[in-house]
Each structure stands twice: as C-alpha cells, then as structure tokens.
Structure 1
Amino acid sequence: MSENTELAGLYAVIEESSRLAGVTCSRDTVWPILTAYADTLAQAVVAFRVATGERNAGDFDCRFTMLPKDLDPYAVALSNGLTPKTAHPVGSLLQELHREFPVQSSGIDFGVVGGFKKTWSFFPTDDLQSLSRLAELPSLPDSVAANLDFFTRYALADRVSLVGIDYPNRSLNLYFGAAPADVFRPEGITSILRDAQLGEPSERLLRLGAQAFGIYATLSWESAKVERITIAAMTPDPTTLPVRIEPKIEHFVKNAPYSTDDRQFVYAITSSPKGEYHKLQSYYRWQPRVENILLVSDHQ
C-alpha cells in the first residue's frame, strides 16, 4: 500500500470522526499535517479528542504519539509552514527540553480546523523528572518555579512524566506519573483545587478520582497561577465510570471508529477558573504499551 493511500485512509477516518463530533474537517488544514509527519505515522498511536466547554467549541483534536525520540516535532511543523516562527519562549522550549532531558518519545496535537497546536515529550517511566531541574530551562515559564512548593506539598514535584507545549495558547501541560494515591481521594482533590484557587470540585470530579490514574496541570508564561488541574481515568468503556457522561461525549463513544482489537479511552475532567469541563480521548490506533508509558497500572 502506498504512503498516499495510507494517508488518504487516515484522513478519511479523521473526517468521519470530526463529523461525529459535529465539526467540519478542513482538508486544507489536515492534509499538510499528515504529509509533514508521514514518515513517522506507520507506528504512531492515533487518538481523537472531544470536549465540552467554550474553549473547546468549534474544533476537533487529533493526537499522534509514540513518535521517534530523535524527532523534533516542532521543527517539522516550522519547516512545513504548519505554525509561525515566534520569538516567544514557547518557540525555544522544546529544543531546550530535548537537549537537556531524556526524551523517550514525542507526539503532536492538531485541530481539524485550527491546525497544529501542541507537542508532547515523554520521559522514560523509570526516569521521571523533577520540576526543580525543569525550572532551570531558560524558556520555561516562571510560573513553574513559582509553584514548586505547591507541587512539592502533594509529592508531585519529582514525578514529571510528560510535558506538553501549547503553541497558540502559549501554555504548558505538566503530567505527573505514578502520583500518590492520596492525590485522587476526595480530600486530596479538594485540597489541591483549593490550594490552586480553582474552587470546589464537583461530585462528578470526586467520583472520577476513585478510578483515576493521572493528574496534570496547565501553566503559562502570562500568569504565576496554576491555570487548570485535570484528573484522568483510562477505561475500555467510559459508560461504566462512576460519572454521568455528557451527551456529546456519549455519542462519540458509541460511534467512534477504531482499528485495533482493544478499545481504550481516557476520560478526564478539568477544573478551571470558569468551571469544569469534560474531555474524552478515544484511541483509533491503540498499543498496549501506552498503559505502561502513562503509568496507568500504578492506580488501576
């Protein structure tokens, strides 16, 4: 099968998935991204994301992960005109990160309307990194160092497993692997959100914590505050989770395409200053090793 045939097949799946989410896919946006990363996609894990809330309206996100560790996904995006060059520190952070830290694999996010959005850098599961070391990178937001005590209080500061860089929004996602069980208990979630000045968690968020494996934070260059906290659970069937699934997400769960025998989803609830919103990541092309890379087994 030719490369173009494979890309055409993947594009058709992206287009179908977008339609399920009520979003019209732009070929002019998506096809250049597929061709830019074509050499790396054969082995990539492919996932789609639907979400509620105002900030997620009007687009449908795709995620390619398990890309080669020696790949600079941001450099690929720049060289193919997928994102504008910038003098902002967001544009130099990935190169610093990959130069100074052990990166096991990479990934990207893009919207079928908005285009290229994020890069992902995964650290080895047996070599999680510390925020204090990350804070030494010249391009890292000052908000990371400003919140070092906060993350240390919850035994998260030395457990960074994954770094996401959001270029349009100029923000940073920090994922914490093998987080202590206390973090996911109701009192732990409540304390973290209060400490971060994000308000009280909903009952749905507290119930999701009982089956959660992941916690991550969003920070930016513009503010010293933790902007968002997200709790995530992995499941082969989101309808079995102890939370009420939003209708938009339930529709996608029931109809989302997949190409591997195992169906897997990550269901997450994010706490933000404007309230909570829900996200579902549906794996189209799943690999069992993803569970190990995300350290799911530590809490399930």
Structure 2
Amino acid sequence: MSGNSGTADIYEAVIETARRMGVTPARDTVRAILSAYGDAFTHAMPLALRSATDAQHTGDLDCRFVTHPKNRNPYPLALSKGLTPTTDHPVGALLSSIEERFPVDGYGIDFGVVNGFAKVYAGFPPDDLQKLPELAAIPAMPRGLADRADFFRQHGLDDKVAFTAIDYPHRTVNVYFNDVPPACREADGIRTMLHDLGLPEPSEHLLALAGRSFGLYTTLDWESPGIRRLCFGVTTTDLSSLPVPVDPRLEKFAQSVPYGGPGRKYVYGVAATATGEYHKLETHYKWNPGTVAFI
C-alpha cells in the first residue's frame, strides 16, 4: 500500500477485527480503499469501526475515517479509482451540489470490509450550523426532506444541520443535527417526534439513551416520501455507564477491536424505524481529540 506505514497499520487492525468477528473481508477491496486515501493516515487521522444489530449490517464490518486534505471532495476519487460505479441517479450529483452551496468544513469516508465503499460525510463548521430549508431546496435532494419541513421547524431543528452523509449503494441520505433543543431528548418530545414521522412508539431503551444523546439524525431516500429512520447517539469511555444494556453482539464487537492509542471512546446509538429499533456501536482504533462523532 504505497509504503505508507500508517495505512499498513490500519489495514492490519481492520483485518484483525474482521477475523475476530468471524467476518471474511474482501482484502483487495480494503487495500484499494485505504491506498486511495492513504494521505489521511499519513496525517494520523482517526479510524472508527462500527457494528449494528440490523439485518443490513449482518456479515460486514463498517469502517470510517476523516479524509485529508479536508477541502477535497473524496467522491470523484472513488469514481476514478473504481471504488464505486458511476450513476445517473440523483445520489451521484448530491454531494457536489452540497459543496457548491454550503461551507463544507471536512469530509469522511465509510466502507464495509465485505461490501466496499459506501458513504461520504460532509460536515459543516461546528459554529455555523446550516438551515434545513436551504438543504431541502437542492434539486438532487430527496423530496421527503422538503415535505417534512414543518416537522423540523416545529421541533426546533430547521437551523441545526451539522452534517450530511450520502450512502451510494443504498441510495439514502442522513441529515445530522447538533445543539438540538432539550425537548428532542425528553420522553414526551421523542414520542411526539416518532408519532409525527409515523414510526412506532419508542422503547424504554430508546428513551433512556436519547436523554443523554449529543445529537440525532434522520435517514431518507428517493423512493419514499417520509423519513425512514430517526437515530440518537451517546458518547462514552465506559460501556457499563450507559443507561441501557449493551447488546451481546455489540459487546463482542467492542472486545474484538484492537486499539492504537490512549483514551478509547465509544459512540452507542439506537435507531427507530418502521419495522422496529436496532442498536449500533462505534469504537475507535485511533482517536484524536476534537474528532467529531458519528453514529
């Protein structure tokens, strides 16, 4: 991998974690992705690994990292290297449209060790959260975001957009919100939000975790008019301190990840969907102070 010792270390950590999880990685795919973005690891960027309890993530291991330099859109490189196919679908035009209209402060990559290149994250300056109506007005954006404008305004979220994430193979978009109003983390507010989105009544686990969450995100796509998913995430250095029991599958995952630095950090999330809730856990092979948490 071009002689980059940082990339080689990351590769070994990813492959070892997959082995411990009983996942058979597509080694050439992992090498190709890490090599394409090798300059990220030259600059000691953190690597996060994630597992989840839903069917979509079964049999794979998700990896994510911040790209370097932060002002370079990583999607064209993925296309040129053959990491993801070209497409005429609006998903292929969305990131460049966001870049043209908003002050993107940095990018991240998400890939599976089996399924390969998946997402690109585009983050805005933490002191300059963006307005949702302007994001919803992008022609390539799924119309469900604009259709739900009243929902975001009523819950005080319409000027608190911190990140977006575009999932190319699944053709979905995540919209992340920071500095969310306290009511969005309180039981009555959460029940109202889920009801407004047509999602099932929240479990006690979701309510307990959401009460300590640092933010939330929604998921939407081009095929359905509404919001597919609402997720809350909590950061911690000690899984036993969480207000919910950790799923045994995620405990095994946490124990499987080797660690390359001090101060291990976790991000634990719970997602509400039309078919029920699922949990996910992100942990870090490397963590830099100031790194933004996703879930």
- Same-fold call, TM cutoff 0.5: yes
**2:103 counterpart of 1:72:** no
Q: Which amino acid aligns with 2:168?
A: Y
Q: Give the Cα–Cα distance (whole angstroms) in 2 for the partners of residues 66 and 264 of structure 1.
A: 20
Q: Give the Cα–Cα distance (whole angstroms) in 1 for the partners of residues 20 and 153 of structure 2.
A: 41
Structure 1: where are the runs of 5+ without partners? 296-300
Q: Which amino acid aligns with 1:14?
A: V
Q: Give the Cα–Cα distance (whole angstroms) in 1 for the partners of residues 166 and 201 of structure 2.
A: 27
Q: Give the Cα–Cα distance (whole angstroms) in 1 for the partners of residues 69 and 219 of structure 2.
A: 25
Q: Give the Cα–Cα distance (whole angstroms) in 2 for the partners of residues 14 and 25 of structure 1.
A: 9
Shifted more, 143-152 versus 59-68: the winner is 59-68
Q: Give the Cα–Cα distance (whole angstroms) in 2 for the partners of residues 265 and 5 of structure 1.
A: 25
Q: Secondary structure at the match of 1:156?
A: coil
Q: Give the Cα–Cα distance (whole angstroms) in 1 for the partners of residues 62 and 6 of structure 2.
A: 20
Contact persistence 1:21–1:50 (CA under 8 A) = no
Q: Give the Cα–Cα distance (whole angstroms) in 2 for the partners of residues 190 and 67 of structure 1.
A: 40
**2:153 counterpart of 1:152:** yes
Deviation at 1:7, TM superposition (A): 2.1
Deviation at 1:19, TM superposition (A): 2.2
Q: Give the Cα–Cα distance (whole angstroms) in 2 for the partners of residues 150 and 45 of structure 1.
A: 35
Q: Give the Cα–Cα distance (whole angstroms) in 2 for the partners of residues 189 and 52 of structure 1.
A: 22
Q: Secondary structure at the match of 1:280?
A: strand
Instruction: Say how many residue pairs are matched.
Output: 293
Contact persistence 1:46–1:62 (CA under 8 A) = yes
CA deviations on 1:125-148 (whole Å, 9 max, x unpaired) are 111101111122221111110111
Contact persistence 2:119–2:166 (CA under 8 A) = yes
Give aligned-pair identity as a percent.
44
Q: Secondary structure at the match of 1:129?
A: coil
Q: Which amino acid aligns with 1:201?
A: P
**2:168 counterpart of 1:167:** yes
Q: Give the Cα–Cα distance (whole angstroms) in 1 for the partners of residues 278 and 293 of structure 2.
A: 22
Deviation at 1:42, TM superposition (A): 2.5
Deviation at 1:3, TM superposition (A): 3.3
Deviation at 1:252, TM superposition (A): 2.0
**2:63 counterpart of 1:35:** no
Q: Secondary structure at the match of 2:139?
A: coil
Q: Give the Cα–Cα distance (whole angstroms) in 1 for the partners of residues 75 and 290 of structure 2.
A: 24
Q: Which amino acid aligns with 2:6?
A: E
CA deviations on 1:15-64 (whole Å, 9 max, x unpaired) are 11112333111112111001111122223221000110212111110001
The residue aligned with 1:17 is 17
The residue aligned with 1:109 is 110
Deviation at 1:66, TM superposition (A): 5.3
CA deviations on 1:75-112 (whole Å, 9 max, x unpaired) are 11001000000001100111111111101110010000
Q: Give the Cα–Cα distance (whole angstroms) in 1 for the partners of residues 54 and 224 of structure 2.
A: 22
Decide whether aligned partners of structure 1 residues 251 and 169 sit closer, same or farther in structure 2, where only a CA change above 3 A counts: same
**2:250 counterpart of 1:249:** yes
CA deviations on 1:233-256 (whole Å, 9 max, x unpaired) are 000012210101111111222342
Q: Secondary structure at the match of 1:271?
A: strand
Q: Which amino acid aligns with 2:236?
A: T
CA deviations on 1:172-226 (whole Å, 9 max, x unpaired) are 0000011111111111111111111111111111111222112000011111110
Q: Give the Cα–Cα distance (whole angstroms) in 2 for the partners of residues 60 and 294 of structure 1.
A: 18
Contact persistence 2:172–2:221 (CA under 8 A) = yes
The residue aligned with 1:126 is 127
Q: Secondary structure at the match of 2:207?
A: helix
Deviation at 1:294, TM superposition (A): 5.2
Decide whether aligned partners of structure 1 residues 213 and 27 sit closer, same or farther in structure 2, where only a CA change above 3 A counts: same
Shifted more, 137-146 versus 73-82: the winner is 137-146
**2:247 counterpart of 1:237:** no
Large movers: runs of 4+ above 6 Å: none
Q: Give the Cα–Cα distance (whole angstroms) in 2 for the partners of residues 40 and 288 of structure 1.
A: 16
State TM-score, norm by structure 1.
Answer: 0.94
Q: Give the Cα–Cα distance (whole angstroms) in 2 for the partners of residues 236 and 202 of structure 1.
A: 24
Contact persistence 1:238–1:253 (CA under 8 A) = no
Q: Give the Cα–Cα distance (whole angstroms) in 1 for the partners of residues 21 and 77 of structure 2.
A: 28
Q: Which amino acid aligns with 1:13?
A: A
Contact persistence 2:40–2:67 (CA under 8 A) = no
Q: Give the Cα–Cα distance (whole angstroms) in 2 for the partners of residues 83 and 66 of structure 1.
A: 17
**2:199 counterpart of 1:198:** yes
State TM-score, norm by structure 2.
Answer: 0.95
Q: Which amino acid aligns with 1:25?
A: P
Q: Give the Cα–Cα distance (whole angstroms) in 2 for the partners of residues 211 and 193 of structure 1.
A: 18
The residue aligned with 1:3 is 3
